Amino acid sequence: MEWMLRPSTPEDAAWIAELRAVVLRDDLTRLGRYDEVRVRQRFLGSFRTATTQIIVVDGRDAGSIAVRPDEGVRWIEHFYLDPATQGRGVGGAVLARVLSDAGQQTFRLNVLQGSPALRLYRRAGFVVDSEDEVDIFLTRPAG
């Protein structure tokens, strides 16, 4: 399975919003937080082409990842992968590339409580900072 990252364009926003709804539906439903409209609006309100890359797998757009600088750290956001592509090592490879490309930076992210993605982030060196009833906040220190 071959993959690459490409810059995002404004035209990518709609399909990423749909992918987000698919990927987060089970976890948000389990947490009592799924809203058919809001799940898309939250993405569309924060989508920035300058910080978002598209994950292309075998020539097909299959996901997204955003890295947003913020006061000495980089936030990983909007990391979504088509369910048909999950579990094949692409997510781990994309995350490793993003972390290595940034050099000695501290990274932060949040993941929904109970999300299987937590295992991926822990394998990449992220540790839990804090959590609430919905989110787990993680940090990967520089170095």
What is the CATH number for 11? 3.40.630.30
The pairing of strands 127-131 and 135-140 is antiparallel
The neighbour count for residue 40, using CB atoms within 10 Å, is 17
Average pLDDT over residues 57-77: 97
pLDDT digit string (tens) for 87-139? 999 999 999 999 998 878 999 999 999 999 999 999 999 999 999 999 999 99
Containing domain of residue 97, as a range? 3-140
User: Residue 85's closest CA among 99, 110, 64?
Assistant: 64
Using the CB atoms, write b or e for 46-84: b if 16+ within 10 Å: ebeeebbbbbebeeebbbbbbbbeeeeebbbbbbbbbee
Which band of pLDDT confidence, cut at 50, 70 and 90, is reported for residue 1?
confident
For residue 102, the model assigns a pLDDT of: 80
Range from 50-54, 73-77, 104-108, 126-130 carrying the lowest mean pLDDT: 104-108
Our count of domains for the chain comes to 1
Average pLDDT over residues 40-47: 97
For residue 19, the model assigns a pLDDT of: 98
pLDDT digit string (tens) for 4-39? 999 999 999 999 999 999 999 999 999 999 999 999
